[in-house]
Structure 1
Amino acid sequence: FPPFLVTLLCVTDQAVPDGVDVLSLSVGPNGLPRRNLTFMSTFDLALLSAVKAGVFVTQAVGNGGPYPRTSLSFSPWIFSVAAATHDRAYPNAITLGSITGTGLACKIHATGTNGSFSLITAADATNGNVSRILVDECQDAGNYNRSLVSGRILVCSYSLRYLFGVSTLADTVAAVQELRASGLVFLATPDVDGHSFPPSPIGFPVIIIPSSKDSAVKFIRHLSWILTISLHLPPGVAPLLQHIHGHGHHSRRPHQGGDVLVPDVNSNNLDVADVLKPNILPPGNLIWAAWSSIGSDEREFEGQEFALISGASMATPHIAGIAALVKQRFPSLSPAGIASAMSTTALTLDSNGQPLLAQHPSSNVDSILGPATPFDFGAGFVNPAAAIDPGLIFDAGFRDYIQFLCSIPALSNSTVSAATGSSFFTSSSFASDLNTPYVSIASLNGARSVVRIATSVSERDEAYNATLVVPAGVSVTVQPSSFSVRGGQLVKLTLTLKALVTSSAPIFGELLLDGDRGHRLHLPICVSSKIASSGTS
């Protein structure tokens, strides 16, 4: 095994005797297993053993979005986490002539600076005949005339070379400081439109304008010889410009406060085993976190104790923390029960009451947002306050996961036994029989009945009404449509789905459970290919 995988396996094994309740994994494979089904990889089976011992496992799905089928967290015993933006802001402001924009403030070590400064482009400040790429990216102070740059704001290009690590912010800042510039403006090149810009804690006033189509870019590129920039920087703060607006000029469409944007991550296994991935969506964009000051893998953060980072790896610890709260509230709850508590109480609307939005692949930077689906956010945006009081949970254990594996046609009982050490086998027609807090059917041939067992974790009796948001092209019924339940009591819900049309387009709905004591749960319903017939499968 690769050394990194061996280390992860050792950590997973040690978590059990150490009494770990929650295992947070901001790591995963680089791609699909080459020879095995995703559920039968060495790593996923090791995590199944941890879940068997009562450890809740949450894992980042990776950062392959917005492209479909990029989730790298596969198995139903793992709580897989996507990443969203959020409405927290670190506001600051800059003025470019008559254009004013607000942006993100980043921690730096510089003192405050106020005033107006002349701009000069890197090309206008060069010493002579130097490569345009090297000049525009401002990596070497020796390429420029210090007398032209000193006291001015130097304008440099931010290209894909920065995202790949060929050029670095640290080298640019070092060059600009050596040239005694008063500040630095980065203009994004077209090849990075639509990419995220990781803010770096730089001890120097730096601003990145992240769209090559932004109106401010035109002003700076063509009018820099007469334009001045007003910097209003509180001590220790530098802005990273996200959106800039000018009268009469087109600018990037900003997302409204509270909107949630997520990568489009579809399960690699949805067409095999009725598994929905990701499972949940917490904040993962621009998250402050502790950083090792002696770390050397990210030059921009060398010597820093905190960093502002984005990705599913930053989202996953949110879920680990919420899982710990649920475990504290319900000490006897299984890992599946903890996952259910977060899933059924998740939100599918943003803080403005609007549907969640997702990024989708597009060559047009201004139109990459569209309606999100469970393939983007799983059950929805996590709601911690509701998760610690879910009312009902949908539980599953080790035997249920063995039954799930045995339902996959490519796996024999002997293969499952050799991989898991289990000798418990029972017949199961479909992987969708696993008692998950969602209903996912990859191929609905005619009709299918799916059973879900709900367990009350409330201390009081409660009456529930079940309603459906029915996916297009499918009829769905649920029995019973109303029920009363006492604390600890189990209730059997039977959903019957029937394909009305033949189609390969995925469709979505949900089962809603409304209790008379304020509990409101929802279970996503996802159906991919459908074959209409009069039979029942």
Structure 2
Amino acid sequence: MDMGHTASTAAGAFIRNVSYKGLGPGTIRGGAPRARLAIYKVCWNVFGGQCSSADMLKAFDEAIYDGVDVLSLSIGSSIPLFSDIDERDGIATGSFHAVARGITVVCGAANDGPSAQTVQNTAPWILTVAASTMDRAFPTPITLGNNKTFLGQAMFTGKEIGFRGLVYPEASGLDPNAAGVCQSLSLNATLVAGKVVLCFTSMARRAAVTSAAEVVKAAGGVGLIVAKNPSDALYPCSGDFPCVEVDYEIGTRILFYIRSNRSPAVKLSHSKTIVGNPLLPKVAYFSSRGPNSIAPAILKPDITAPGVNILAATSPLDRFEDNGYAMHSGTSMATPHVSGIVALLKALHPDWSPAAIKSALVTTAWRNHPSGYPIFAEGSPQKLANPFDFGGGIANPNGAADPGLLYDMDTADYIHYLCVMGYNNAAISRLTGQPTECPSKEPSILDVNLPSLTIPNLRKSITLTRTVTNAGAPNSIYRAVIEPPFGIIVSVKPDVLLFSNQTKKINFTVTINATHQVNTGYYFGSLSWTDGIHMVKSPLSVRTEMLQPYASDN
């Protein structure tokens, strides 16, 4: 994570005629260009790069003292997670105190997707951000000697490769494909020199591409085509060496061409930039997914923002830097997008709490493309995105500025959560910095006033409560709109909310029943409130578990 890159994404000024090696040209700016930045260094180049909890806690203290409005943290750790009250998780501890003072803390969800239960920064007071692609791509033409052209993906802007020989390394013996695995290429320099090499990999990470590119280059090859599970996060190979990614289908068609021709040839053309239709945003392959491994009833991630091939200013020390700019991918890049939006919302609504800002973002997020098509999540296979992929959806700044209703929370609500989690009074008191005693009757985690509803283990009828605050016209009438998950019956009381100058907050209950008595995976729906102008939509996720893998009081 480059601090300059994330800082300029959050608050960079308008700069015209910017591109990355000619790709993605246009005017560049951060999310909140007039915001002022305070930057606190907490990570150091020791042991491969370390961010200590002590440094993070000190930075939180300094930021609170300095009076910041938003804290943006593109930092994560690893699975398994520390508990919310473990001081080794400096982010959970520090952010609790920041949020208690009205500072919104925005954190990345981590880059361990598409595996489930990999999301990090899961405390309910944190705004946790997943990463999506956007409506921009860099198609790279691959023209075979038979004049068939396929489109790969790359950031190739170096010297164009005219028609050259094309080779796929095959091993002798029982497994001919063993020599063509990208991360363990076995090349005969005599056969490869001056040619383009095709290889296949099942690795999603970039390491397979960079490793193969170095091996091909060392053997005298002039280009590389990598067949892999498609993901849109791209980086140029060093020295502008052409390395083009294709999916397995295209890779197989190229391989069949090689095997059916005595002198296969290929031309690799420069990458191009296309923006807008027909491209649809997707949840990024690497973006960590829910459910939350500490408390599955607390939906994480909360929201999604662009985090793939993000063009922003960077440090001269960045190895991908070109004229002061670079493209990077990660939830670290998605996080400052949301931080910029939060800064704008804070300017519009200075009295909104961090929970109110989170609610506004979650309940107004885009779950479908403006064309109406649903958003997909990259993975194997690609699938329709659900709340564990993108939380409420992709952040919608203008919608969040006028959400209609808010699910608000304060420190008392977060202490409610800590008590439900079974943390002892002494540990909670250490975290909060004040004497805290949990009630003798344990409250339900399902009643934490989140802008989402997640039921991880439904066995019998349950009823949970929520409170909404009117943030729109004083005299408003909202009606419930329920999209129940498959096999689930959902009812709301009252199903009409009447707000006035005297009534600004209203409690309601949601009762959830299963129509089946079987263990299932999660099914998804939503609960919305509408006044005809606003649509305040909460994601609803339910899993029935008649046979429990562990004891539960829910």
**TM-score category of the 2 structures, normalised to the smaller one:** 0.7 to 0.9
- 1:71–1:265 Cα contact (<8 Å) kept: yes
1:460-475 superposed matches below 5 A: 461-475=475-489
- 1:336–1:397 Cα contact (<8 Å) kept: yes
1:241-260 superposed matches below 5 A: 257-260=279-282
Deviation at 1:414, TM superposition (A): 2.9
- 2:530–2:536 Cα contact (<8 Å) kept: yes
Give the whole-Å Cα distance in 1 for the aligned partners of 2:438 and 2:328.
46
1:350-499 superposed matches below 5 A: 350-360=369-379, 362=380, 368-408=381-421, 410-425=422-437, 427=439, 429-459=443-473, 461-486=475-500, 489-499=504-514
Deviation at 1:51, TM superposition (A): 0.9
Deviation at 1:78, TM superposition (A): 0.9
User: Does residue 102 of structure 1 match 2:102?
Assistant: no
Query: Which of 289, 294, 300 is the equivalent residue of 2:312?
Result: 289
Distance 1:41 1:228, change over 3 A: same
Query: Which of 323, 340, 347 is the equivalent residue of 1:321?
Result: 340
SS in 1 for 2:66: coil
- Give the match for residue 524 of structure 2: 508
SS in 2 for 1:339: helix
- Give the match for residue 167 of structure 2: 121
1:125-204 superposed matches below 5 A: 144=189, 149=193, 153-155=195-197, 157=199, 163-164=206-207, 168=211, 171=214, 175=218, 183-188=222-227, 192-194=228-230, 198-200=234-236, 204=240
Matching residue's letter, 1:422: Q
Query: Which of 247, 252, 257 is the equivalent residue of 1:211?
Result: 247
Distance 1:339 1:413, change over 3 A: same
User: Does residue 335 of structure 1 match 2:354?
Assistant: yes
- Give the match for residue 298 of structure 2: 275
Give the whole-Å Cα distance in 1 for the aligned partners of 2:195 and 2:233.
20
- Give the match for residue 127 of structure 1: none
Matching residue's letter, 1:291: T
Give the whole-Å Cα distance in 1 for the aligned partners of 2:105 and 2:356.
12
SS in 2 for 1:463: strand
- Give the match for residue 345 of structure 1: 364
- 1:432–1:441 Cα contact (<8 Å) kept: yes
Matching residue's letter, 1:348: R
Deviation at 1:18, TM superposition (A): 2.0
Deviation at 1:201, TM superposition (A): 6.5
Distance 1:224 1:162, change over 3 A: farther
Runs of 4+ in 1 over 6 A off after TM superposition: 132-141
Q: Deviations over 1:451-480 (max 9, x none)?
A: 221112225533211121123343322122
Matching residue's letter, 2:371: N
- 1:337–1:396 Cα contact (<8 Å) kept: yes
User: Does residue 9 of structure 1 match 2:46?
Assistant: no
Give the whole-Å Cα distance in 1 for the aligned partners of 2:226 and 2:218.
17
Q: Deviations over 1:336-368 (max 9, x none)?
A: 1110110000122234312332345x5xxxxx0
Deviation at 1:138, TM superposition (A): 11
Deviation at 1:402, TM superposition (A): 0.8
Distance 1:268 1:466, change over 3 A: closer
Distance 1:429 1:39, change over 3 A: farther
- 1:12–1:50 Cα contact (<8 Å) kept: yes
Matching residue's letter, 2:298: V
Matching residue's letter, 1:412: N
Query: Which of 89, 105, 130 is the equivalent residue of 2:137?
Result: 89
Distance 1:172 1:328, change over 3 A: farther
Give the whole-Å Cα distance in 2 for the aligned partners of 1:401 and 1:161.
37
- Give the match for residue 35 of structure 2: none
- 1:448–1:498 Cα contact (<8 Å) kept: yes
Give the whole-Å Cα distance in 1 for the aligned partners of 2:391 and 2:209.
36
Deviation at 1:206, TM superposition (A): 1.4
Matching residue's letter, 1:42: D
Distance 1:354 1:92, change over 3 A: same
Give the whole-Å Cα distance in 1 for the aligned partners of 2:418 and 2:181.
58
- 2:464–2:510 Cα contact (<8 Å) kept: yes
- 1:259–1:352 Cα contact (<8 Å) kept: no
Matching residue's letter, 1:293: P
Give the whole-Å Cα distance in 1 for the aligned partners of 2:136 and 2:60.
34
- 1:71–1:267 Cα contact (<8 Å) kept: yes
Q: Deviations over 1:42-81 (max 9, x none)?
A: 3212211111121111211212222211112211111111
- 2:130–2:288 Cα contact (<8 Å) kept: no
Matching residue's letter, 1:199: Y
Give the whole-Å Cα distance in 2 for the aligned partners of 1:371 and 1:23.
31
- 2:467–2:508 Cα contact (<8 Å) kept: yes
Distance 1:273 1:175, change over 3 A: closer
- 1:471–1:508 Cα contact (<8 Å) kept: yes
Give the whole-Å Cα distance in 1 for the aligned partners of 2:168 and 2:389.
41
Q: Deviations over 1:94-131 (max 9, x none)?
A: 422332233446374x46x5x8422243869xxxxxxx
Aligned CA-pair RMSD: 3.9
Give the whole-Å Cα distance in 2 for the aligned partners of 1:391 and 1:39.
37
Deviation at 1:491, TM superposition (A): 2.1
Give the whole-Å Cα distance in 2 for the aligned partners of 1:394 and 1:374.
17
- Give the match for residue 221 of structure 1: 258
SS in 2 for 1:282: strand
Give the whole-Å Cα distance in 1 for the aligned partners of 2:516 and 2:288.
26
The number of equivalent residue pairs is: 482
Matching residue's letter, 2:513: K
Distance 1:451 1:122, change over 3 A: closer
Distance 1:319 1:20, change over 3 A: same
SS in 2 for 1:86: coil
Query: Which of 62, 65, 69 is the equivalent residue of 2:113?
Result: 65
Give the whole-Å Cα distance in 2 for the aligned partners of 1:384 and 1:449.
32
Matching residue's letter, 2:55: T
Deviation at 1:504, TM superposition (A): 3.5
Distance 1:138 1:174, change over 3 A: farther
- Give the match for residue 537 of structure 2: 522
SS in 2 for 1:355: coil
Matching residue's letter, 1:53: R
Q: Deviations over 1:389-443 (max 9, x none)?
A: 11111111112101111122x3222331133223355645211221110122333
User: Does residue 51 of structure 1 match 2:99?
Assistant: yes
SS in 2 for 1:83: strand
Matching residue's letter, 1:46: G
- 2:348–2:401 Cα contact (<8 Å) kept: yes
- 1:512–1:520 Cα contact (<8 Å) kept: yes
SS in 2 for 1:385: helix
